[in-house]
Each structure stands twice: as C-alpha cells, then as structure tokens.
Amino acid sequence: MNTNFGASLGVGVGDSVAEYANFLESLGLSHVEIRWNYPDTREERPSDRRLRDLRESRDLTRTIHAPYGDANPGSLNEGRRRATRDRIVEALDTAAAIGAGAVVVHGGSVTRSYPDRVKSYAREQAIRTIREAARHADDVGVPLRVENQPVKRKPRYNTSTPENLVAFLDDVGLDTDYLGVTLDVGHATASGVDYESFVETFGDRIVVAHLHDNDGTADDHDPIAAYEAVAADVGAPYNVLEMKSKADVERCVEG
C-alpha cells in the first residue's frame, strides 16, 4: 500500500492551487485534500481539469472534503438536507473527474438542548443523506468516508466514538466498499477517545487520516510532532495534516 502525506487546501489559504502545490512539494509532501468550499470562494474557480493536473503534472494524489459548517447532513429542514446531499454528490462527481482517492464527509449534528424526538429525527435525516450520497459514490466509483467528529458542549455529533460510528454506518445499511471511515486523530483526542480504538474497530475501512493535535480540552488543530508514527498506526493510504496555517504545516514537517 502506498502511503501519501499531504495537507488540506481550504478557504483560509490564499494560494492558488498551483501555489499550494509548490508549497507541498517544497516540503516533500505528495497529497492535497481540497475542502469543497475552497473552489467556491475563488474569483476564478479552478476547473476539474486543473485539479486533475495535480497528479499528472505535480504527482500529487488528491482527496476532497465535502461541505461542512454551513452544510449539515442532519438538517431538520428537508430543503437544506437535500441541498447538502446535492453538494456531497457534486463533490463526488468532481472527485471522479479528477481521479481523487476519496471524499470525506461529516455525519451530521443537532443541538443538544432539543428534545429527544428532535435529536432522533436529525439523526434519521443524516442517515438518509449519507445513504443517498453513498449510493452515488458506488455509482461513480469514489469512496465516501464518514469522519469521526469531536464531542462538544453544544452540538451533538452522530459519529464521535467508535460505537457511535459503527451504529451510524450500520443504520445507513449499505453493503458497499465505497462507504467507510475517515479517522480524525485530533477529534478523537479532543473527545477523550484513543485513536487506536477506531483503528481496532474499523481497520482497513479507514482510507483517510486527518492528523493534528490538541491538549484534550478543545479541537485546536495544532501541529502533531509524531505524525508519521501515528499514520503508521492508522495505516490509511491518505494522510492529511489538518493545521490552521501553512506555517503550522511547516512546523509539523520540519520538526
């Protein structure tokens, strides 16, 4: 199995795709994860062809992170849920067009203070969204990988522990190799969960690893000194340094 190390390209990065590719190559990295909101915020939206050229001309493998933040697979509003599903489908279509190795997706959230019946409904909405998206992933041949989310005080996420994530994927109920897991090591740490427990539970269903660190009290996305050793423990083919800045990525790689 080839192991690729890279970093995420999001809205906080001012670089063009080519500039960011140069930055990654200067650090000896071979992978880029494109956060789906990044193309939307560019005056000149990078075309699928330009994104595909990352591998053909730059030898960079690619993954895509589906929309999040303003896109909730578990939205209580059916119109917004469908819009989120459609955006995930768009990300899968682009991933297929550019030869990306996977699309990362969140499993939805709901406000903790809502009644139990509303929390259950929100989870059902998220399961519907991921089920519909996973069927499309199977159609286009791109793995869809559901990410573990951190435990937080206000929103309740559906995939914060190995047990939650197992139950979620079981309820999605699709027997396909194109539905699996992204292990976010920093989210596990912030939740008080050993990332090894996700590895033991999901094994080779983990295709993408997000690598960052924190002190266990908040999801800080700090540099992670032992990222190569952690990646070796996880065994995912795509490993993404998910830092807040290019400087933090440099600190991580250069030690």
pLDDT in tens, 62-72: 999 999 988 99
pTM of the complete model: 0.95
Say yes or no to pLDDT of 153 above 80.
no
Count of C-beta atoms within a 10 Å radius of residue 19: 11
Tell me how far CA of residue 240 lies from CA of 99, 138, 171, in angstroms: 17, 24, 28
Tokens coding 93: 């279509």
Tell me how far CA of residue 195 lies from CA of 141, 143, 199, in angstroms: 28, 21, 7
Q: Give the pLDDT band (50/70/90) at residue 50.
A: confident
Alpha helix positions (H), 173-215:
185-190, 195-202
pLDDT in tens, 155-168: 999 999 999 999 99
Average confidence (pLDDT) over 217-232: 94
Q: Which residue has the tokens 């920093």?
A: 186
How many CA atoms lie within 13 Å of 42's alpha carbon, on the beta-carbon side? Answer: 17
pLDDT confidence of residue 117: 98
Quote the domain boundaries for residue 37.
4-254
Amino acid residing at 40: D
pLDDT in tens, 161-203: 999 999 999 999 999 999 999 999 999 999 999 999 999 999 9
pLDDT confidence of residue 14: 87
CATH number (domain holding residue 110): 3.20.20.150
Task: Express the helix, strand and coil content of the chain in percent, nearest 5 each.
Answer: 45, 20, 35
Report d(CA 53, CA 23) in Å as an integer: 16
Helix 48-56 and helix 17-26, axial crossing angle in degrees, nearest 10: 20
Phi, psi dihedral angles at 97 (to 5 degrees): -70, -30
Where does residue 250 rank: exposed (0-12), middle (13-18), buried (19+ CB within 10 A)?
A: middle
Average confidence (pLDDT) over 113-126: 97
Q: Domain count for the chain, please give it.
A: 1
Strands 109-111 and 155-157, how do they pair? antiparallel
